[in-house]
Amino acid sequence: MASHSIGPEKTLTVEFSARRYNKGIFEDKIIALARETPYTLFVNDEEIVSISTLPSNLDELFTGFLVAEGVLMSRSEILESRVDHGNRLVMMELDVPNERLEKFESRGMLTSGCAGGLVFSVEAGASSASEREAPVLQIPATTIVERMSELDSYQGTYSLTKGVHAASLADLSRTLVIREDLGRHNAVDKIVGHCLLQGIETRDKLLLTTGRITSEVLTKAARGGFPMIISRSSASSMAMGMAKQFHIDVAMYVRGGRFNYFHHGAVNLVEA
């Protein structure tokens, strides 16, 4: 697979002059905000979608998006991937069956916020998620708390702007990769894309997110092959129904050493 970028990636924050009200007094202050930039994806010279994103790890973002859509199944199907920062384009050449590509029509802009980043068809995405027979993982409950603490303490763009979501890839002993974006969907796509591009086995890994677990996020976890998804926030009823259907365990509200756990047969969580 050939992969390269054209031009430097932009900085991830923009500073603005503002005034801060603090205990009855206004003070001049410089505020850093997360940079939001739209990039348009072309697949085999066809325009697919535009996504507003934090302009980092864009190859992972769009690869993960294509995995979630059921278009990409393996790294070998990517013949070329090119990011043109100057023109805000991501161009990919894929060797995949036509029936997968036919799912796509240009759908306009996917916004960066928490209502955006949707897969084109939740039902279609979930129904064709790959079924797997993996050994049940033995996970100490303290591992869930420790991995979320590592994600929460990450000193990335969030520490400067308080305006992005993060997702992480972890095993039982440590956090392996953390990615940030303006929307929780995009951050999860970056993790899924990273795993595909790097050939990382996901059946024995944990997917963590700072955002809500919606049906769209659960679809991405299923497509990515994760046995468990963990959030410091909540989950929707549809996401939980899908998690049960696809045997993905869910831990949510992971805060202060506590969490709610939904067992669907993928892991064996033990007290420790």
Cα–Cα distances (Å) from 36 to 64, 95, 111, 112, 128, in that order, read 19, 31, 10, 8, 32
Predicted pLDDT of residue 36: 86
Note the pLDDT tens digit of each residue in 32-69: 888 889 999 999 999 988 999 999 999 999 999 999 98
Predicted pLDDT of residue 202: 95
Domain hosting 148: range is 137-270
- Residue ranges of the chain with per-residue pLDDT less than 70: 1-10, 21, 26, 104-135, 272
Domain co-membership, 21 together with 79: no
Instruction: Indicate the residue among 91, 118, 145 that finishes a domain.
Output: 118
| Sign of the C-alpha dihedral computed for residues 21, 22, 26 and 27 taken in this order | negative
Q: What phi, psi does 218 have (nearest 5°)?
A: -65, -40
Domain co-membership, 232 together with 162: yes
Q: What phi, psi does 175 have (nearest 5°)?
A: -80, 130
Type of residue numbered 266:
A
Instruction: Indicate the residue among 118, 150, 171 that finishes a domain.
Output: 118
Domain co-membership, 142 together with 259: yes
Predicted pLDDT of residue 134: 58
Domain co-membership, 149 together with 260: yes
**Which residues, 6 or more positions from 194, have their beta carbon under 8 angstroms from its beta carbon?**
57, 60, 64, 169, 177, 179, 200
Pull the structure tokens for residue 214: 């919606």
Domain co-membership, 153 together with 263: yes
Strand locations in the chain (E)? 2-6, 13-22, 25-34, 37-43, 46-53, 78-84, 89-94, 109-110, 137-140, 165-170, 175-181, 206-209, 228-231, 249-255, 258-262, 267-270
Active site members: 114
**Number of domains making up the chain:** 3
Query: For residue 225, is it left (φ>0), alpha (ψ between -120 and 50) or beta?
Result: left
Domain co-membership, 62 together with 14: no
* Among the listed residues 70, 94, 69, 71, the one whose alpha carbon sits nearest the alpha carbon of residue 81: 94
Give CA angle at 93 (89, 98), nearest 5°: 120
Q: What is the pTM of this model?
A: 0.86
Which residue, chain included where needed, has tokens 């045997």? 247
Predicted pLDDT of residue 233: 93
* Among the listed residues 137, 164, 135, the one whose alpha carbon sits nearest the alpha carbon of residue 251: 137
Domain co-membership, 96 together with 145: no
| Sign of the C-alpha dihedral computed for residues 60, 180, 212 and 244 taken in this order | positive
Domain co-membership, 142 together with 266: yes
Pull the structure tokens for residue 4: 């390269």
CATH number of 220's domain: 3.40.140.10
**Inside any domain, residue 2:** no
CATH number of 70's domain: 3.10.20.10
Domain co-membership, 145 together with 94: no
